[in-house]
Amino acid sequence: MKYAFSPLVFTLGASAAALKRSDCCFQLTASGGQSGSVGQLNDGQNRVGGGYSPATYCLSNGAITDKNGRGCILTPPTTQFQCDEGASPTPGFAVGEGGQVTYNGSTKFYACPAADGEYNIYTKEVDGQDKCVEITLSTEGAKCAAASTPVPSAPPTPTTPPAVASTPEGVTSTLTSYTTECPTPQSSAPPVASSPPPAQGPTPSNTQPAPESPPPTTLTSTTSQTQTATSVQSVTSPGTPSTPTPSSSGPSSPGGCPADLAGDYQYPHLIVPVNASTPSQSFGTQYFGEVSSSPRVCSLFNFDIPSSYAGSACSAVFLLPHKAELETSNYTLSTPGSGSGQVTFAALEEPADEKTAWESVPEKERDLGVFDVEAGARFVVATGECRAGSTVAYEMCAAEGSAGLSFEWFQDWNPSPIGLFVRKC
């Protein structure tokens, strides 16, 4: 389902913590301003009313999936509760002793009209929706308390191998690998990446580098490691911007890295959408990146470069695989007419933060060029000396004259990686 603007994103971070999987499955019932069982549309939207058969959900480590294995997320910026194929579920959910469902400790949910007698579910009131009513959700007594301790929502602290997940309120996430052991998990970020749920959280730290982490690993590594998201100095590559090419090796700019993640790379520590239609509204860090021409929406990305990158060259690269290559992500791309659409990138003078809105986007340091986006695209956005120990920010927008462009993706490091990354050459 499409939304005016989405949250990152973000994406997924990794941690060395391992958790034992514990699932609890149930059906949901709404009470309050609207009541009834919670069912689903075929696309995974959760609805109260409408005569749908009760849907079955499972809770594991604070994140919910439906019986079809779809990750249940809160779509930005409205926080609609729905379950999407290939999505990493939003963490922060729990079920109490009496079966009452909470999100980040709150029992408040909202039902807003979607069709005659049908209501979508949200975790906060929706602007412009005057007929929303407060509801609570329960599992009708299903005992999940012991297995449903909510994973703290927090955005990503990206690492080389894992993807980080962020939420409208957090900026640190963690990758959790399930094993037979149960070391005490680090609470600095929630789970995400190749396992189940991504994390999101209310304690943003996107503008400060995360603690020094182990040396970055590559995609071939099977060990969960925590690594600080890194950034690179934005320097325009000589010549015209690379045109996307689906080759596996990927093009590179003179003196830059190939447009792939074969070496050490960093995931965005923060992804913030800004919307010209609501210039003063901030959406917080998100799971998704989005650009569109109408409404005019841009996405801002922060990368925190580790000190270990000092003296090396770094490139910002953008990857858009064919959908058949994706395992845990997805995207929607609508372009003017047929063929590719065009986007622009710019390096910003200062990092964004979770409160950044359209009217408060940092000044541009430099424009980096216009690039074609289409399935299979991969290109180098900028190359330069790694700005070790600092945070670098980029802005991505629909290019002027690219009317009708609408592009949204779930930022992910899992095969095949999708979105904006920074890698060391």
Return the biggest CA–CA distance within the chain: 64
Distances (CA, A) of 258 to 219, 241, 242, 378: 15, 14, 11, 9
**CA distance linking residue 83 with residue 40, whole number of Å:** 9
Q: What is the pLDDT of residues 266-290, one digit of tens each?
A: 989 999 999 999 999 999 988 899 9
Could you give the CA distance from residue 233 to residue 241 in angstroms, rounded to a whole number? 17
**Per the structure block, which two tokens stand in for 220?**
């071939």
Please state the pTM of the whole predicted model.
0.46
Q: What six digits make up the tokens of 207?
A: 């503008």
Give the pLDDT band of residue 338 (cuts 50, 70, 90).
Answer: low
**Residue 316: pLDDT over 80:** yes
Tens digit of each residue's pLDDT (9 = 90 or more) over 10-47: 333 332 222 333 468 999 999 999 999 999 998 889 99
Angle at CA 326, nearest 5°, toward 320 and 328?
A: 120
Which pLDDT tens digit goes with each residue over 379-397? 999 999 999 999 999 999 9
Rounded CA gap, 287 and 308, in Å?
Answer: 27
Return the domain boundaries, the chain.
1-6+152-425, 23-60+62-147
Residue type, 327: E
Taking the C-alpha atoms of residue 394 and residue 410, their distance in angstroms, rounded to an integer, is: 17
Q: How far is CA 202 from CA 76, 166, 172, in A?
A: 15, 10, 9
CATH topology classification for 23-60+62-147? Trefoil (Acidic Fibroblast Growth Factor, subunit A) (2.80.10)
The reported pLDDT for the residue numbered 389 is 93
